[in-house]
């Protein structure tokens, strides 16, 4: 298990933070990363360590679940390991959405968009270029805000503004005529730095907490 939390001030001794100081049986290994003045603390705990708690809990899995619940109450989250790329557009009054996962690209219409949402729910991060496309599915997936990584939002934080996806594609000389093209291009933007008409920008890692610090 690996969990993470972002801080404005670097913790002197992460072992003294909750929930670790309340779970003395565990021996987490800590790593601290920096980005834009934030300090990201990662705590890795071998799953076998939770076997020490069997007796207090009925199983290792129950102990892990209890620990993770407490950690989340203190602002920690599981370190994201999986993601998908999402984009959507309207065509002749109908919503056409696309999802790119490790299994490839799938497209959806309004009649089966809930199937797409179910696939989104299985990954830690949903990557979209702009928040506009997120509004299409907010009604059926209200939790999307807790996992969506919006590239345009990250660009705007650094440069004060973000270009349209089409203008960004011109900088890269990329063709984004089809929905599949757009999904592939959006994934390409995850390779830092991002080149924009306003200059280059370094985006936070995909796994970095969405709220920043």
Contact 200, 158 (CB under 8 A): no
Q: pLDDT tens digits for 48-75? A: 999 999 999 999 999 999 999 999 999 9
Over residues 33-46, the pLDDT tens digits come to: 987 788 999 999 99
156, pLDDT greater than 70: yes
* Domain residue extents for the chain: 2-78, 83-201
CA nearest 106: which of 92, 91, 118?
118
Half-sphere exposure of 103 toward its Cβ, with a 13 Å CA cutoff? 8
Predicted confidence (pLDDT) per residue in 165-187, tens digit: 999 999 999 999 999 999 999 99
Tens of pLDDT, residue by residue over 91-116, are 888 889 999 999 999 999 988 999 99
Structure tokens at 69: 């619940």
Query: How many Å apart are CA 211 and CA 190, to the nearest integer?
Result: 18
Stretch 12-17: mean pLDDT, rounded?
A: 95
3-state secondary structure of 8: coil
Sign of the CA dihedral with 52 first, then 69, 123, and 182 last: negative
Return the structure tokens found at 59: 């199983």
């Amino acid at each position: 298990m690996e969990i993470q939390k972002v801080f404005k001030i670097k913790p002197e001794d992460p072992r003294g933070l909750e929930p670790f100081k309340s779970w003395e049986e565990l021996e987490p290994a800590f790593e601290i990363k920096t980005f834009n003045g934030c300090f990201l603390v990662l705590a890795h705990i071998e799953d076998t360590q939770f076997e020490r708690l069997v007796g207090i809990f009925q199983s290792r899995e129950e102990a892990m679940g209890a620990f993770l619940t407490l950690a989340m109450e203190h602002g920690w989250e599981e370190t994201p390991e999986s993601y998908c790329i999402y984009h959507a557009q309207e065509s002749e009054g109908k919503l056409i959405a696309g999802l790119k996962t490790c299994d490839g690209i799938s497209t959806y219409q309004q009649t089966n968009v809930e199937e797409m949402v179910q696939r989104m729910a299985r990954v830690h991060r949903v990557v979209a270029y702009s928040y506009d496309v997120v509004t299409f599915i907010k009604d059926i997936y209200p939790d999307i805000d807790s996992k969506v990584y919006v590239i345009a939002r990250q660009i705007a934080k650094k440069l004060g503004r973000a270009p349209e996806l089409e203008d960004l594609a011109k900088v890269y000389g990329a063709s984004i005529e089809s929905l599949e093209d757009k999904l592939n291009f959006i994934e390409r933007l995850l390779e830092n730095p991002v080149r924009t008409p306003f200059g280059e920008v370094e985006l936070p890692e995909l796994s970095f907490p969405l709220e920043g610090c």
